[in-house]
A and B are shown apart, each in its own frame.
Chain A
Amino acid sequence: MNRAMALNLTLAVLCLATLCCACLLGSTALSAGAVLSSLVGNGNPMDQVVVWSIRLPRALAAFLVGFCLGVGGAALQGLLRNPLAEPGVLGVSASATLLATLAIYYNLVALSPWILPAAAIVGALLSTTVLAAAAARTHSAVTLILIGFGLSSFAGAIMSLLLNLAPTPFSLADMVNWTLGSVANRSFADIGLALPFLFAGCVLLFRQRSGYTLLALGEEAAAAAGLGVARLRLLTVLGTGLAVGASVSLAGAIGFVGLIAPHVVRPLVSHDPARSLLPAGLLAGLLLMLADIGVRLLSSAYELNLGVLAALLGAPVFIALVVRRENSHG
């Protein structure tokens, strides 16, 4: 068994263990035995409700959102050949959140439950398209990050405008929750709405993974070596749009996990962007599940948002990465 496989296996086992842990923890004390018997479908009906309707979907949502962000981050980094690329940093999550919020604000979600993921995906696609178009013209990583920053700020400004105009305090609180990111009170129905897009997006990205390795040579050399660069760019835009959009529709904007997870796994897979996709997804899923457990343990009276915790931990890592990159480039 090679190192990449061992890494994936370890991460998968850790994810499973964390998922079980997440089912154990909560305001209602449940024994491990009770959780286990509820998970396999027999046990006291009250415990079953707690496990199946509250804890498991929440933990699963955290994992899926993390997985998407990790895979999306690793794919964007591969496409843009830059370790600082990430759905949050590049404004993809912010744009998805904006469109999702618009859908809530204008009550379009009442038309069909599919409107919410669709809106988030459209928002994500808009920004990935802008970024990919810009990446085709510039080779400067700084320019791309600045464009991402611009996209984030723009989406943020419109969000603020919406918040100012919010008709009722209720919708205001709703929208704030979106921008901060949370997986509290998610149900299997919510997951079901995001899952097809999330799955399609991740599959699309996984199919492109060898192309990211070839792109390490630079676009021209990669094209000459047999890579359809335009196609790769298009499919990556589509894949990240779907995966990140779906994750935002499930949990709102959660930043930096898509940055940290690929960064951590990269040295373990010989810095190969192709081989980093799966472990980055698993690690990001694991991190978000752990962060969500942290959120639940830390805040009993006031719910701390998952996105806030992710940013608190992730933003310093981002800054450290930028500084180190600056040093290594003289």
Chain B
Amino acid sequence: MASLRVAGLTVRAGETVLVSDANFELRPGQFVALLGPNGAGKSTLIRASMGLIAADRGEASIDGRATSSLGSSERARTLSYLPQQRSLAWPLPVRDVVALGRYCHGLRGTQPRCADREAIDRAMTATDLHSLASRRTDTLSGGELARVHCARALSTESPIMIADEPTAALDLPHAFLMMDVLKSFVDDGGAALVVLHDLPLAARYASHLLWMCDGRIVADGPIDTTLTEELCAEVYGIRATIDGRRLTIEGPL
């Protein structure tokens, strides 16, 4: 199992500071929801944490090794990424897309080894995709396609998963299904960092919350201390009432 540690991470684009002095840690068994309005720097933070873009200061490391210094395959084996973009350049069959998650384990072409085949099968079971295995991805609904991408990330069997708005544009049943899949990944000892815009959904599933506003992390911690009406007001400018894990949005401030 591996932990992701981000220390003093700062990312600039020209004069603009996108992420400023971010510090947090993601440990096995944690389901961390990264919250914040559009433009808060969430996507930049996760990209820099993965080492996909260069940080101006600070460092993100997995078990003491900087993510930017890892080879691309090694990094991919430790950390799988579920991006927002779901469109595929080619209408590959579902199973072929799921198999792409094994690229970093050396799977090339269509002759998977035993370990690859098992991992692909497990990922497809977790996302309930077996019935769609040979369907072309351009014939799938948005929800089905989101599941395919999730299965692709799961088939890597990495200890850490980072997801950028995995429930965006999904209907409620699909959003719950997606969160359930991520939850069981965490329950099996994985660590998940998930960008979310749906506060009630985050309140329901996350173990920890990471609040971002204007490029800064303004709150970080277990959900019982970080799920507060004040933070909802400060970060999103909304009025919310919180009752345990139930969050109800009343309206704008």
- Interface residues, chain A, CB within 8 Å of chain B? 2, 4, 81-82, 210, 213-218, 220-221, 223-228, 266, 270-275
Contact = CB atoms under 8 A, between A and B. Distances in A.
Contact residues of B: prevailing secondary structure = mixed
B109 A223 contact: no
Contacts of B156: 225
B108 A210 contact: yes
Contact of A226 (B72, B83, B88, B109): B72
Closest 6 interchain pairs by CB? Answer: A226-B104, A226-B76, A81-B89, A224-B81, A226-B73, A210-B108
Contacts of B92: 213, 216, 270-272
Contacts of A226: 72-73, 75-77, 103-104
Given A215-B89, A224-B75, 18 more contacts: A82-B89, A214-B103, A216-B92, A217-B83, A217-B97, A218-B87, A220-B85, A221-B83, A221-B85, A223-B52, A223-B72, A224-B83, A225-B101, A226-B75, A226-B76, A226-B104, A272-B90, A272-B92
A265 to B, nearest CB: 13
B215 to A, nearest CB: 20
Contact residues of A: prevailing secondary structure = helix
B30 interface: no
A270 B80 contact: no
A77 B88 CA distance: 13
7 contacts: A216-B89, A216-B92, A216-B100, A223-B52, A224-B76, A226-B73, A272-B90
B52 A220 contact: yes
B21 interface: no
B100 A217 contact: yes
A266 B91 CA distance: 10
A155 to B, nearest CB: 28
A221 to B, nearest CB: 5
A233 to B, nearest CB: 13
B104 A225 contact: yes
Interface string B110-139: 100000000000000000000000001000
A44 to B, nearest CB: 48
A275 B72 CA distance: 23
Given A210-B108, A217-B88, A224-B52, A272 B72 contact: no
A216 B83 contact: no
A2 B100 contact: no
B96 interface: yes
A223 B72 CA distance: 7
Contacts of A275: 109-110
Contacts of B152: 217, 225
A8 to B, nearest CB: 13
B52 A216 contact: no
A212 B108 CA distance: 11
B100 A225 contact: yes
Given A218-B83, A218-B85, A225 B90 contact: no
Nearest to B105: A226
A221 B164 CA distance: 11
Contacts of B96: 213, 270, 272
A225 B80 contact: yes
Contacts of B80: 224-225
Given A270-B93, A271-B92, A225 B110 contact: no
Interface in B59-90: 72-73, 75-77, 79-81, 83, 85, 87-90
B13 to A, nearest CB: 15
A227 B72 contact: yes
Nearest to B76: A226
B50 interface: yes
Contacts of A2: 110
Nearest to B101: A225
A221 B97 CA distance: 12
Contact of A213 (B76, B77, B81, B100): B100
Q: Which of B72, B89, B110 has the most CB of A within 10 A?
A: B89
Contacts of A4: 110
Given A218-B83, A271-B136, A227 B89 contact: no
A226 B109 CA distance: 15
Contact of B81 (A215, A225, A273): A225
